[in-house]
Structure 1
Amino acid sequence: MREQQGRGCAKLIIMLAATLLFAGCGVKTDPVPPASVAPEAIVDLRYEIDEGGVRLTWTFPDRTINGDNISSISAFDVYRAVVDLDGLCDTCPIPFGEPTEIDGGETSVAGKRRMGEYRTSLLRSDHKYFYKIRARNSWWAASDDSNIVSFIWHVPASPPVSISAAASDTRISLSWPPVTTLLDGRPAEGAISYRVLRSENGKEFEPLTEPLAETGFIDIQVVNGRKYFYKVQSLLTYRDNVIDGGISRVIAAVPLDMTPPQPPTGIRAVRTGSGIKVFWEPGVDPEVAGYRVYRRLAGETEAVLVGEVESIYNIFDDRDIDAGATVYYSVSAFDQAQPANESERSAEVSPR
């Protein structure tokens, strides 16, 4: 009897082993390694502090760790660490807590990479905050950590107000009154400096310089005729740390070409059977758009504009003149700026 029971148990064990063995053969494809679907790490995590707290932004990853394209992200994990300034240790590990999950989505919209965003107002004065983010395509396929951003939270300085911008030739001058208070209305306790930010589309702003102590800045890295947008952020120095403060409203300006071309040279006037022809040397300035011809009759004090030609011409035929009149001509050049800059007039000449 015992022998039969032993044989039955042996058969049962063999059947279970066979079941487990052949169950593995039911896998239709090879297991997917995490690297083939895990997104690449976020490398452009940024923060911006305003009256409402802190705003984190980053670009959606659109490739896997292996470099394959991906069209969507399942979710983002936002990690935060909070350290009291009195216990801050520069060499200690950053004590990140459990992450906050936020929704992902398509990596691009209308052919443009999407930007992720996370806002929070849960901030305490005299604490330093650290943030990093991971992108996930599933619970087991997460990216590596993003770059870490950090800041110290204290009641920020108020934003600069009454920003003004004066545009001139190849430069834009910004100015603003000094900031003297915090966002809660109290007097600022530390030194205030300023960060100037610029954008060419009114959306993505980049800092132009290191923090400034002055309440003004001249931007000479501009192109005439192109529109530029500016914001100014106040910075408070508190306990040897710089606290990002309020940001001003956006102001825009367009630098204008205000430099006139050189006046034409080699002016000559010759009488013909139909009137008087005025000649000048062809210009070499590519910015010249055309020429204006002025005429002054004997006895008059002011010359009047009698004609305008494009820059491809260096001749003007004045047919509206009496054959025996004593007359004097001068010529100016004007450029392509809007409004155009006009040169001084050439010396007057009289027809031969």
Structure 2
Amino acid sequence: MTRLWPALLAVLALGACGKKAAPVNPALRVPVPVTDLRGEVHDGAVELAWTNPTRRADNTRLRDIVAARVYRTEDEGVGDPRPALLVRGRIAGYTELLTLTAMPGPPGAVTKPLLTGALVQVTDRQGLIEGRRYTYVVIVEDGEGRVSPPSSRVSVTFGAAPDAPQGLTAAPGPRQVRLTWQPPARGGPDVLYEVLRAPAPGAPPQVITPSPIAATEFVDGGVENGRTYYYTVRAVRRAAGTIARGGVTPVVAASPVDRTPPAPPRDLVASTAGSSVQLRWSGPTDAEVAGYVVYRAAAGREFERVGSTTAPTTSFVDRDVPPGTYRYAVTTQDATARAIESARSGDVTVTVP
């Protein structure tokens, strides 16, 4: 029996051995590269923007980014830009322009990493020379020191941005605002324009022109009557595939209004009952109606307002009318803030006994 123990122990030992998981290829744990790096010239600088990645190469979630590095190279703009090759955690042949690092929290708190999926915007003003082509690349690093492959390259040919346009004016109309301006003092024949609009003072303005325009006027038809909008215009220049955006005009405000009066009521009829006059009519169907105003004129006198109704009521009783002959007419009042009134309807004549 004692001879069986070594063999039995060997069998148990073999049965207890489990399979080890296959090691993960370190290359699959690196963050995926930034895919949307973009840049443009704006007011004497190059503005870059991108979105931090949210996944790793093995498609698992990327939870921490501790650094994002921006690299730059420059040339005369002939041929293709220099390739972006990652060598020992750096982009070969490029100069490291800046590094964004994790933001430290309060004393004793854990350092806060750069947000994955967050939009990042940086500005380059370092030694830019007009006419030179600058090519940028971004890499990101996770908390384990793993570095992503290089982002897509973006090349920007630096040029002087045009001055701001001059003399911006805004003329409101019904559901529209017409904007006009003068070209910048220094701009040149190739200057285009972008119109920006904000819904409130101090709110970030948004570009509302689908693409830069050559005209020095623009009609904004995407507005509502009775609201105030805030406009500014900037000049842009497109050269060598790069857009250079200049400064903006001072802000002007405009409130669209509809000054077109509504149609008057129609089919006005009147009847009497003792000292009361009963009026009925039909309202217009092509306007937003708030109500109606009733007018009365004694023989040889001008019309005077004697009452009103709110929509959709299209009848009115004028009570305690002194004996005599009278003319009646009705107007429509629209639902705008100005409560614009129509012309009077055709009048009707009644005699109160």
Who is 1:84 aligned against?
A: 76
Normalising by structure 1, report the TM-score. Answer: 0.71
Aligned: 1:156 with 2:147: no
The 3-state SS of whatever aligns with 2:348 is coil
Query: Which residues in structure 2 correspond to 1:300-311 (within 5 Å)?
Result: 300-301=301-302, 303-311=303-311
Report the residue type matching 1:195 in the other structure: Y
Whether the 8 Å CA contact 1:42–1:133 is kept in 2: the answer is no
Gaps of 5+ in 2: 1-19, 85-92, 103-112
The 3-state SS of whatever aligns with 2:301 is coil
Write out per-residue CA displacement over residues 256-299 of structure 1, whole angstroms, 9 at most, x where no aligned residue: 23333222111112212352121112543462222222222221
Which residue of the other structure, out of 100, 120, 129, is the alignment partner of 1:124? 129
Who is 1:256 aligned against?
A: 257
Aligned: 1:312 with 2:312: yes
Aligned: 1:219 with 2:225: no
2:154 & 2:246 partners in 1: Cα distance? 16
Moved more, 207-216 or 238-247: 238-247
Moved more, 66-75 or 250-259: 66-75
The 3-state SS of whatever aligns with 1:350 is strand
* CA drift at 1:253: 2.9
Who is 1:54 aligned against?
A: 46
* CA drift at 1:38: 3.0
Who is 1:10 aligned against?
A: none
Whether the 8 Å CA contact 2:295–2:330 is kept in 1: the answer is yes
2:123 & 2:215 partners in 1: Cα distance? 31
Who is 1:5 aligned against?
A: none
Query: Which residues in structure 2 correspond to 1:330-345 (within 5 Å)?
Result: 330-345=329-344
Gaps of 5+ in 1: 1-24, 182-187
Query: Which residues in structure 2 correspond to 1:1-352 (within 5 Å)?
Result: 38=31, 41=34, 43=36, 45-47=38-40, 49-51=42-44, 53-59=45-51, 73-85=65-77, 88-89=78-79, 91-93=80-82, 97-99=94-96, 100-103=98-101, 105=113, 107=115, 115-122=119-126, 123-138=128-143, 139-140=145-146, 142=148, 145=151, 148-181=153-186, 190-201=188-199, 202-203=203-204, 205-206=206-207, 208-236=209-237, 243-273=244-274, 275-285=276-286, 287-301=288-302, 303-322=303-322, 324-351=323-350
1:68 & 1:329 partners in 2: Cα distance? 79
The 3-state SS of whatever aligns with 2:42 is strand
Whether the 8 Å CA contact 2:41–2:242 is kept in 1: the answer is no
Report the residue type matching 1:43 in the other structure: D
2:30 & 2:350 partners in 1: Cα distance? 83
Report the residue type matching 2:70 in the other structure: V
* CA drift at 1:244: 3.3
Whether the 8 Å CA contact 1:136–1:143 is kept in 2: the answer is no
Using the aligned pairs only, state the percent identity: 27
Change (3 A) 1:69 1:321: farther
Normalising by structure 2, report the TM-score. Answer: 0.71
Tell me the C-alpha RMSD between the 2 structures. 3.8
* CA drift at 1:32: 8.9
